[in-house]
Structure 1
Amino acid sequence: MQFKRTLFTLLALGTAAFAHAQGNWPTKPITLVVPFAAGGPTDVVARTLGAAMTKSLGQTVVVENKLGAGGTVAAAYVAKAQPDGYTFFIHHNGMATAPALYRKLSFDPLKDFEFVSQAVEVPMTFLARKDFPANNFQEMVTYIRANKEKINLANAGLGAVSQLCGMMFQRAVGVQLTEVPFQGTAPAMNALLGGQVDVLCDQTTQTVPQIKAGSVKLYGVTTKNRVKVLPNAPTLAEQGLKDFEVVVWHGIYAPKGTPKPVVDRMNAAVRAALKDPDVIKRMDDLGAEIVPDATNTPEALHAWLKSEIDKWGPVIKAGGKFAD
């Protein structure tokens, strides 16, 4: 009987200490894992948000870049991390495409994480090398259909949104082009600038400077509506590709089992960061769109991820692009 009383007391003390720790959270720096290289689009978003969240959390948000396999290395790492409130994860559309792209996935995007918030969306642009022989979108589609065996379509690697956008474009116009994967968006853009590849679909965070400099040809944006940073650029949908929409969306996650009060506090920190004037200006400069409050809830992120998995699965399977 004495043993049972002692065990109960220890469990009660442990529970009280854990609850107290949650109430004081955070008491040390927080790690935000980024699945791509430093300086890349997702990294820039993460560091901008992290700096702003530090203000409201009272602790530094440290960005850790953990690369590999289209973001699945980082996702698997976070899925297995201690759910103590000090490890979080930011990822883009790759969280939704991984189940279709990888035959052997060590985590379930919908079941192995706590959902914190969406953050920002980044439009995509459809580009060609500067000397591509088409002056508008319709001429470009006509030329590609007539010369599909000769056209090289660059992307930033398996699972990258640039690859998915390219796959969706090919499906929409009824062609199969030669895809040339690179290790990231910067090498893909450099190849386009150098004329080694013909066309590329990539996000505004990477392409706006080249577009404004006249170093590439822009044929449209991939959002439902025109974007602020490129107000004169028509959407692909309004130019004939009905319902064509590809945006790079970013969500923030935590390991499964992270306490709800911690998730809620982190969600509040993300919301505050998205209203920070410095963040707003930085996102405007990048062409990124801050998502509305209604989509900044754990429930909304979960529902959005599920819808994106359903959307991209058939596209990927039709394209036959898989990895082990």
Structure 2
Amino acid sequence: MTRFSTVLSGIAAVVALVLGVAAQAQSAYPNRPITLVVPYPPGGSADILARTVGAELGKRLGQPVVIDNRGGAGTAIGTKVVASAAPDGYTLLLGTVSSQAINPAMNKVAYDPLKDFTAVSPLASIPFVLAVNPAAKIDSVAALIAQAKAQPDGLSYASAGPGTSNHLAGELLASEAHIRLLHVPYKGSAPALNDVIAGVVPMMFDLQTTTLPYLKSGKLKALAVTSKTRSSLLPDVPTMIESGLPGYEVTAWFGVFAPAGLPAPILARLNTDITDILKTPEMTARLRELGAELESGDPVTYAAYARSESVKWADVIKRYGLAP
């Protein structure tokens, strides 16, 4: 054997060894705890959902799923942690419409929501409700649009602050219905909702989770939900699409993402386990308690959805000059 052949044989042996070790590592996945980063403080809907799903995922994988709350910068801090992590399946992200679509379009963030992540699986979505104070005497989306067109300054609506989902929901309504709406920002959803209940501002888009008690008590009236299909918690309330706005869909969605380059076997394992968890009666009931609607799908479809959401909100934000 020539020296050249000997060198080639040595290289081949090393490559085979590396590939063998890599394959063994993937087949043994997971062999240590997994971190699920939540880019929000503890206690909110995202945190509760992450802990609920994470506990069940840990049972299936045979390793604990540790929740790491990294709130701040409108989700950018925690999201960047995952974008910079190794794509080995041991660092995952509880991604949301804010982290993957709205915040990157509104602000300069140190990650690319499309290039830096692998979409693993959707989890759930919470629709918004277009809620009005009964004293406003607006009984439908059509009546709201007609009233807005009759008022030169437009109807006012409350939100949790500039760039929040309920702010952008109002901007999307104005765009789709060709009306003018006056945005009244607050420092959080709670004070905004309180002023709608008090009649200071006539209406607001808010999550069905927080709106539901006031709808049941009659302090607010629901005109429509913002999801593509009707909410199981509000089956008698039409969607915005049914109300004459075919392009209107806004939800607070949640899903699992990993760093870009996640190996296919690990991606398939995580997607399958998460999908199976979501289909259990116990998880369905728990999501219903959170006011959330179950979402499931394969990684390719979910990646396409995340991309479409990124494009949609970037367009809305650019159109209205909302980015700083």
Please classify the TM superposition score into its range, dividing by the shorter chain length. 0.7 to 0.9
Alignment partner of 1:20 out of 11, 21, 24: 24
SS at match of 2:174: helix
SS at match of 1:53: helix
The verdict on how the C-alpha distance between 1:43 and 1:121 changes in structure 2, with shifts beyond 3 A counting, is same
Paired position in structure 2 for 1:170: 174
SS at match of 1:249: strand
Q: Deviations over 1:13-36 (max 9, x none)?
A: 665444433322223322211222
Q: Deviations over 1:127-173 (max 9, x none)?
A: 12354343443443344444564854222344432222111112233
Equivalent position amino acid for 1:227 in 2: S
SS at match of 1:70: helix
Paired position in structure 2 for 1:122: 126
Contact 2:170–2:181 at 8 Å: present in 1 too?
A: no
Paired position in structure 1 for 2:266: 262
Paired position in structure 1 for 2:70: 66
Equivalent position amino acid for 1:302 in 2: A
Paired position in structure 1 for 2:292: 288
- Supply the RMSD in Å over aligned alpha carbons: 3.0
Paired position in structure 1 for 2:40: 36
Q: Distance in 1 between matches of 2:269 and 2:320?
A: 41
Identity %: 36
Alignment partner of 2:205 out of 201, 205, 228: 201
Spell out the pairing of 1:204-283 with structure 2 (5 A cutoff).
Answer: 204-283=208-287
Contact 1:148–1:177 at 8 Å: present in 2 too?
A: no
The verdict on how the C-alpha distance between 1:310 and 1:252 changes in structure 2, with shifts beyond 3 A counting, is same
Paired position in structure 2 for 1:301: 302
Moved more, 35-44 or 163-172: 35-44
Paired position in structure 1 for 2:81: 77
Equivalent position amino acid for 2:24 in 1: H
Paired position in structure 1 for 2:316: 315
Q: Shift in Å at residue 120 of structure 1?
A: 1.8
Moved more, 175-184 or 87-96: 175-184
Q: How many residues align?
A: 319
Equivalent position amino acid for 2:101 in 1: A
Q: Shift in Å at residue 270 of structure 1?
A: 0.9
Gaps of 5+ in 1: none
Paired position in structure 2 for 1:52: 56
Equivalent position amino acid for 1:277 in 2: P
Gaps of 5+ in 2: none
Q: Distance in 1 between matches of 2:42 and 2:260?
A: 26
Contact 1:228–1:287 at 8 Å: present in 2 too?
A: no
Q: Distance in 2 between matches of 1:198 and 1:34?
A: 34
Moved more, 104-113 or 15-24: 15-24
Contact 1:52–1:279 at 8 Å: present in 2 too?
A: no
Q: Shift in Å at residue 254 of structure 1?
A: 0.7
Q: Distance in 2 between matches of 1:303 and 1:15?
A: 31
Q: TM-score, normalised by structure 2?
A: 0.84
SS at match of 1:48: helix
Q: TM-score, normalised by structure 1?
A: 0.84
Q: Shift in Å at residue 79 of structure 1?
A: 0.5
The verdict on how the C-alpha distance between 1:50 and 1:233 changes in structure 2, with shifts beyond 3 A counting, is same
Q: Shift in Å at residue 199 of structure 1?
A: 1.9
Paired position in structure 2 for 1:96: 101
SS at match of 2:136: coil
Contact 1:152–1:178 at 8 Å: present in 2 too?
A: yes
Equivalent position amino acid for 1:201 in 2: F
Q: Deviations over 1:259-282 (max 9, x none)?
A: 332222211221121112211112
Q: Distance in 2 between matches of 1:17 and 1:89?
A: 26
Q: Shift in Å at residue 255 of structure 1?
A: 1.2
Contact 2:154–2:179 at 8 Å: present in 1 too?
A: no
Q: Distance in 1 between matches of 2:46 and 2:237?
A: 24
Rg bigger for which structure?
2
SS at match of 2:40: coil
Paired position in structure 1 for 2:185: 181
Q: Shift in Å at residue 88 of structure 1?
A: 0.5
